[in-house]
Amino acid sequence: MQLHLYNTASKKKELIVQPEGRPLGIYSCGITAYDYAHLGNWRHYVMDDLLIRTLKYDGYTLKHVQNVTDVGHLTSDADTGEDKLEKGARREGTSVYDVARKFERYFYETGDKLNIIRPDVVTRATEYIQQQLQIAVALEEKGFAYLIPGDGLYFDTSKVANYGALAGFKPEGLQEGARVEKVAGKRYPTDFAVWKLEKPGENRQMVWPSPWGERSFPGWHLECVAMSLDQLGQPVDIHTGGVDHIPVHHTNEIAQAEAYTGRTPFVRVWVHGNFMRIDGQKMSKSLGNIYRLEDVLERGFTPMGLRYLFLMSHYRHELNFTWESLAAAQTAYDRLLRSLAQDGRTRESGMVTQERLDKAQEYREKFLAAINDDLNSSAGLAVINQILKSNLLPQERYDLILDLDDILGLDLRRQSTLLGRAEQLEVVLDDDGEAQRLLDERTQARANKDFARADFLRERIEALGYQIIDTPTGAKVQKRRV
C-alpha cells in the first residue's frame, strides 16, 4: 500500500513516494526540554508514531530525525521574553544543561510507555551551534538578514516573495499577520530573530561568540533548518509539527532554509496535528489542567488506554479530552484485550477455507485503506472491532489483529498475553494477597524515590488484572473490571 497524507502547503492529500536510492526523510519538531511533556504533546507524538508505523508497515524505508530544543526558545515564539530553558533552570535551581537532559530523558522514557518508536536520530540544538552560525552568517551576507544593535540579527521577511504561504498570509496581510510583539528596530512586523545577543544583566548560562557579539545564541527557528538540512538534505520529504507551529515556527523555517539554499521547496509535505482541549478548555497552568501521563496512571488508566483514546479521533481534528472519554476508551481497549486473550488461548482447529481467507483479506484491505487515507485511525479501529465480531476462527482473528497492531501500536501481543496469564492465575489467586503484597512493595519503592522499581511493580500489579486506585487513605488495589 502507499500512503496519502494531507499536505498543509498544498491543502491536498498527496501520495507519499519512496525516493530512489535513499530513505524517505522525516523530520519532526521535538520538545523544548524545559518542562514535563503533557497530554497535548503526547497526542501529537502518538500521531507522529502512527505515521512512522504506517510507513514502515507499507514497506517504505525511512530516516526519522527529531530535534530537542535545549537553547533559544523564548517564552514568546516571537523573539521576546525569557529563554524557556534558562527560566526552567532557575525554577529547578540547576544548570540549563541538567534541566534539558532531565526533561529530554523524561520525554523519551515516557514515550516508551506509550509505545512510541524512538526516532532514528535525535539532534540537540546545542550540538548544532556551528551549523546554525554558518547559516546565520550566510543569510546576512546574502542580504536576507540585518542587525539590530544590542538585540540581534533579524530576518528581513520582505526579501522572500512567498513569505507566509504555508500559513496562507497574503503580502498585504503581513501587517495583521503580525502576531508578534513589537521589537524596536524591526523593518517589518513579521521579521524574526535569526541570532540573539545577550541583554545587559541577563547572565545567561548558554552563550556563544558570533560576529555580532561575544555572548550570543541562536534564534529558535534556526535549529530545525540546520539539523534537517544536515541530516536529510533538501527537500525534506515530510516535516511534522503541531498546528501552532504553522504561522511562526514553520513559516520562519521555510524562509530561512530557502533563502540559505536558494532552492524551493524546503519541505515536500507538511503534516500538522491539531490541538487538544481539556474539558472544552485550553490547557493552562491557571486552570490546573496540564495533565501528564502520571496523572492518567494515578487514576487507574493505562498508557495504552490513553493511546487508544488518541487513535479514536483523526489527527487533523481538535480533540476534546475528558476523563469520561478516557474511561470509555479504556473500557474499549480492555474489552479488545480480553477478546484477544481469549482468542489467543482458543486452539479451536478448523479447516482453512477460501471463504475465510478471503474474508480476512477483505478486513485487512479495509483497515489499510483507512489508515493509508491520511491516517484515519478511528476508521481503522472500527475495522478491528468488526474483526473481533466476525466469524473468522479465533486464531485467525488473533493473527490478523496482531499483525495490524504493528500500525496501531497498542501493544496488543504483550498486553493480551499478560492478561491471558492473569486470567489463568485467577484460579489460584482467590484473594488479593499477591497484588496487595506488590502494592506494599511499590509504596515503599516510591517512598525511596525508586521510581523505576515502582513502575515495574505497577506493571506487575496490572499484569495480575488489578489496578491501583488512589484514595484519601492511600493507594489500594482493585480488580480491574475488564
**Residues at the site binding Zn ion, with contacts judged by CB under 5 A:** 29, 224
Report in angstroms how near the CB of residue 29 gets to Zn ion at its nearest.
3
Give the span between the Cα atoms of 323 and 21, in whole angstroms. 47
Closest separation between CB of residue 212 and Zn ion, Å? 23
Cβ distance to Zn ion smaller for residue 257 or 392:
257
Output the smallest distance, CB 44 to Zn ion, in A: 12
Pick the closer one to Zn ion by CB: 246 or 439: 246
Q: How many CB atoms lie within 10 A of CB 348?
A: 9
The alpha carbon dihedral of 440, 446, 452, 458 has a sign of: positive
Half-sphere exposure of 274 toward its Cβ, with a 13 Å CA cutoff? 13
Q: How far is the CB of 228 from Zn ion (least distance, A)?
A: 8
Of 73 and 204, nearer to Zn ion (C-beta) is 73
| Cβ closest to Zn ion, residue 29 vs residue 283 | 29
| Nearer to Zn ion (CB atom), residue 224 or residue 229 | 224
Nearer to Zn ion, 68 or 224 (CB): 224
Residue 224 CB, shortest distance to Zn ion, in Å, is 3
CA 300 and chain centroid, separation:
23
Q: Is the peptide bond before 235 cis (omega within 30 degrees of 0)?
A: yes
| End-to-end CA separation in angstroms for the chain | 35
Q: How far is the CB of 370 from Zn ion (least distance, A)?
A: 29
Cβ proximity to Zn ion, 120 vs 455, nearer residue: 120
Cell numbers that stand for 208 in this block: 556563544
Q: Least Å distance between CB 242 and Zn ion? A: 10
